[in-house]
Amino acid sequence: MKKTAILLTTICATALLYVSCSSDNNDPAVSTDLTSVGASVAIDASNEMDLNTSLLISTSTSTTGKAAETPAGICATVTISTPNGTEYPKVFLADFGTAGCKDANNLTRKGKLEVTLSGPITETGSKMTIKRIDYSIKDIKLEGIIEYTNTTTVPTTPQWTRKVTNGKLTDLQGGVYTNSGIYTTKQTAGVDTPFVLSDNVYEITDGTHTVIASNGATLTLTVKEPLIKKYSCLFISKGQLKVQGGILNGVIDYGNNDCDSNYTYTHENGTSFILSM
C-alpha cells in the first residue's frame, strides 16, 4: 500500500503510474490531466497534516514559558510567545530545522510552522492562523496561510471554517500548483473530551477549492458528499468531491471510511481510475 509520502514526493509520476496500472482507459489526455487531481489531493492531505500538527501543539503544549516541551509525535522544537504581553494572541512556533526531521508518520519536514491563536480555539469567534515559513514535507515546498475560525452556534456541534490563501505547492520537478478555497467543518465525535484529540472526527460539509497548475490549467473541486476526516487518520476516509476543469468532469471518491491512502476518480463517461497517495 502506498502512503502519502509517495504522492508528496512524486505527484506527477505517482498519478500517472496508478492511472496506467489501474485503468483500461487509453485516453492520454485524461491520464495526463489527472496530475492536477493528484496535486489537489496532495494539497488537501498536507493541509490536514498541518492542521493536525497545529491543533496538537496548541492543545498539548505547556503555556508556562517560552520554551515548551514538544508533544509526542512532533519532531519539531516548539516555542511559545505572547507578543502583546497578554494571554492572547498566543504564538506557537514549530521549528523542524533546515536539515529537517522525521515525524511519527516517517515524513521528513523542514522549515517552520507559525501558529497564532486569537483566543481558545474551542470558543466561537476564535481564530487559528497557520503560516508556513520555508516549509516542506518530503522536499515538496508548501506555502500559504490557513485560517481556521470557530463559527460554532450549537455548543454540542463545534464548527469551523477553513480558509486557504496564497497556497502553493512546488513539486520535485518544479511544477507549481497555486490553490485557495474555503471549507466548512463540523466535529461529530470527541466533543466531550476537548483536550483529547485522538477520538475527534470531523465532517467537511461544504466548500470549494481551486487549484491552478503552472500552465494555467484550473481545477475546481467542490464537496459533493460530506468528507469524513478522523484525527487519528492521515487521510480523508470517506466522501466525494466534484471535479471540474479542462477536460475533467467527474468525482473523487475517498472510499468506505477506512484509514488508507486510496481514492477513486470517476470520469463523466463512467471510466474509473483507482489512485493512491
Summarize the confidence of residues 204-223 as an average pLDDT: 95
* Cell 486569537, residue located: 118
The type of residue at 217 is A
Q: Binning pLDDT at 50, 70 and 90, where does residue 70 land?
A: low
Q: Which secondary-structure segment (H or E) carries 39?
A: helix 28-60
182 is in which domain, residue-wise?
4-276
Beta carbons of 162 and 185 less than 8 angstroms apart? yes
Number of independent structural domains in the chain: 1
Bridge partners for 262 per DSSP: 276
CA distances from 252 to 34, 116, 239, 267 (A): 11, 33, 8, 9
Which segment of 33-47, 53-67, 227-241 scores lowest on mean pLDDT? 53-67
Summarize the confidence of residues 206-229 as an average pLDDT: 95
* Cell 500517472, residue located: 16
Tell which wins on pLDDT, 261 or 29.
261
